[in-house]
Amino acid sequence: MNINFDQYINRCGTNSVKWDQCKKMFGTEDVLPMWVADSDWPAPDVALRAIEERINHGILGYSSPGEELNNAVVNWVKKQYNWEIKKEWLVYTSGVVPAINVALRSNVKEGEGVVLQPPVYYPFFSAVKDNGYLQIDNQLIEVNNSYQMDFKGLKNSITSFTEPIGALILCNPHNPVGRVWKKQELMELGKICLEKEILIISDEIHADLIYNGYKHIPIASLSEELSYNTITMIAPSKTFNVAGLHSSVTIIPDPCLRHSFKKTMSGFVGSGNLFGFVVMEAVYSKGEKWLLEQIKYLEGNRDFAIEYIRKEIPLIKVFQPEGTYLLWLDCRGIGIPPSKINNFMIEEAKVGLDDGSWFGSGGKGFMRLNFACPREILRKGLERISRAVKGWNNGREKYI
């Protein structure tokens, strides 16, 4: 399979969130966008052909997921994650974030606590706040240039919290720090949640983007008891760059949780769309070779970026991701106040990154960079950051 991930395709003027909303996000169009988590290359041919075939049919009426799609999802989960699931566990949704909101609404009462482990994907915070829950932060801890879950802190937080705790939202692989949680870590987390009767809502949207030497393990696959205490979300959106189709799968083994989820979802969140169903079936059935080629390219991008930063921008500390196509950058060594790092990247480096403060406690002074782009674009972005960091003393008073 010969795929040219190096090919640059101009996305400007296509209503791309990443490329066409720079003015809205950063106050200027004069930035190289490397923020929102989609990739800058086409979806696999199998996805595009599936859409074309469906369009040629000519009728685009109401649609529902069929048995072929169910089989494709079950087989994909078994092959990729060694988890045997049943078709009746599947609930199709219009995205992972809507599914997280539904999972919370259907199982957590207003005023109850929800545990998050920041720095973490920022829609988690709004899902807690907007639905009337109390946020409990169990911040990840940095150890040996990596991150770990703080189990002692989690136990203390649970013990000291005076209201009921309804759920913990797990991010695996973790966005933004790039950890692929190991079996023993997941077992320890699961044990605590089972003992305290806390539902696990597991966002596993990056589960297919795993690098050599690591393996994604769905927490629900570790035991029957854990499977019945977990609601798991997966999607082809990050894997195959089809996020615009707004289609995901929620896996709910427990029939009571599944019934509650569907009841809450009814009339509130859609189950996906015609092209989402078509593409999901196609990529989960025939997309593995393309995925392996993409991971190889992304691994090259990851290694290139880390080597470049460590050599050319040593004031920035970079964390090597075990999964995802996101780099977590500790920019505090530059010497600029954390509150002004984002402005510095926009105004001086002219790159549009995700501000680390968006990811909650532990994120101030950090930035998140998306490296799912042609390598020359990645090089260009890193060179801009390097020049800005090396020359920033010229305008030092502006950022102090």
Q: How many domains does the chain have?
A: 2
237 within some domain = yes
Instruction: Decide: helix, strand or coil at residue 241.
Output: coil
Contact present, 208 and 177 (Cβ < 8 Å): no
The single-letter code of the amino acid at 338 is P
Q: pLDDT (tens digit, 0 to 9) for every residue of the chain, 400 residues total?
A: 568 999 999 999 999 999 999 999 999 999 999 999 999 999 999 999 999 999 999 999 999 999 999 999 999 999 999 999 999 999 999 999 999 999 999 999 999 999 999 999 999 999 999 999 999 999 999 999 999 999 999 999 999 999 999 999 999 999 999 999 999 999 999 999 999 999 999 999 999 999 999 999 999 999 999 999 999 999 999 999 999 999 999 999 999 999 999 999 998 888 999 999 999 999 999 999 999 999 999 999 999 999 999 999 999 999 999 999 999 999 999 999 999 999 999 999 999 999 999 999 999 999 999 999 999 999 999 999 999 999 876 556 676 6
Contact present, 39 and 325 (Cβ < 8 Å): yes
Q: What pLDDT was estimated at residue 257?
A: 98
Closest CA to 262 of 18, 91, 89: 91
If asked whether residues 118 and 134 sit together in one domain, one would say yes
If asked whether residues 344 and 221 sit together in one domain, one would say no
If asked whether residues 34 and 89 sit together in one domain, one would say no
In this structure, what is the dihedral angle of CA atoms 238, 6, 302, 279, given to the nearest 10 degrees?
10
- Please, what's the largest Cα pairwise distance for the chain? 63
Q: What is the DSSP string of 64-101?
A: ---HHHHHHHHHHHHHHH-----GGGEEEES-HHHHHH
Domain that holds residue 101: 47-286
If asked whether residues 128 and 216 sit together in one domain, one would say yes
Closest CA to 233 of 249, 220, 217, 246: 249
**What letter would DSSP give residue 320?**
P
Rounded to whole angstroms, the Cα distance separating 154 from 136 reads: 9
Q: What pLDDT was estimated at residue 352?
A: 98
Phi, psi (5° rounding) for residue 100? -65, -45
Q: What pLDDT was estimated at residue 93?
A: 96
Rounded to whole angstroms, the Cα distance separating 102 from 112 reads: 15
Closest CA to 202 of 151, 253, 237, 136: 253
Contact present, 45 and 286 (Cβ < 8 Å): no
Calculate ∠ Cα 114-116-119, nearest 5°: 160
If asked whether residues 299 and 185 sit together in one domain, one would say no
Q: What pLDDT was estimated at residue 397?
A: 62
Q: CA-based Rg of the chain, rounded to a whole angstrom?
A: 21
Tokens representing 79? 């092959």
Rounded to whole angstroms, the Cα distance separating 35 from 122 reads: 13
If asked whether residues 145 and 264 sit together in one domain, one would say yes
Final residue in a domain of this structure, among 221, 253, 286: 286
Final residue in a domain of this structure, among 286, 313, 338: 286
Instruction: Decide: helix, strand or coil at residue 295.
Output: helix
52 within some domain = yes
If asked whether residues 192 and 319 sit together in one domain, one would say no
Contact present, 371 and 303 (Cβ < 8 Å): no
CA distances (Å), origin 124, targets 118, 129, 169, 204:
10, 9, 8, 13
116 within some domain = yes
Sign, Cα dihedral of 33, 34, 36, 40: positive
If asked whether residues 329 and 220 sit together in one domain, one would say no
Q: What pLDDT was estimated at residue 270?
A: 86
120 within some domain = yes
8 within some domain = no
Closest CA to 19 of 387, 377, 390: 377
If asked whether residues 276 and 128 sit together in one domain, one would say yes
pTM: 0.96
Rounded to whole angstroms, the Cα distance separating 26 from 12 reads: 16
If asked whether residues 21 and 79 sit together in one domain, one would say no
Any idea what the CATH number is for the domain that residue 282 is in? 3.40.640.10
If asked whether residues 298 and 365 sit together in one domain, one would say yes
| Residue reference for tokens 């469906």 | 54
Rounded to whole angstroms, the Cα distance separating 179 from 298 reads: 16
Residues in the chain: 400
336 within some domain = yes
398 within some domain = no
Final residue in a domain of this structure, among 253, 286, 319: 286
If asked whether residues 103 and 163 sit together in one domain, one would say yes
Other residues' Cβ atoms within 10 Å of the Cβ of residue 311:
9
Any idea what the CATH number is for the domain that residue 377 is in? 3.90.1150.10
Instruction: Decide: helix, strand or coil at residue 9.
Output: coil
Sign, Cα dihedral of 126, 270, 52, 61: negative
**What letter would DSSP give residue 377?**
H
Other residues' Cβ atoms within 10 Å of the Cβ of residue 155:
14
182 within some domain = yes
Contact present, 73 and 249 (Cβ < 8 Å): yes
Q: Is 194 exposed, middle or buried (0-12, 13-18, 19+ CB in 10 A)?
A: middle
Q: Which residues, 6+ apart, have CB-to-CB distance to 121 below 8 Å?
A: 171, 175, 176, 203, 359
Other residues' Cβ atoms within 10 Å of the Cβ of residue 244:
15
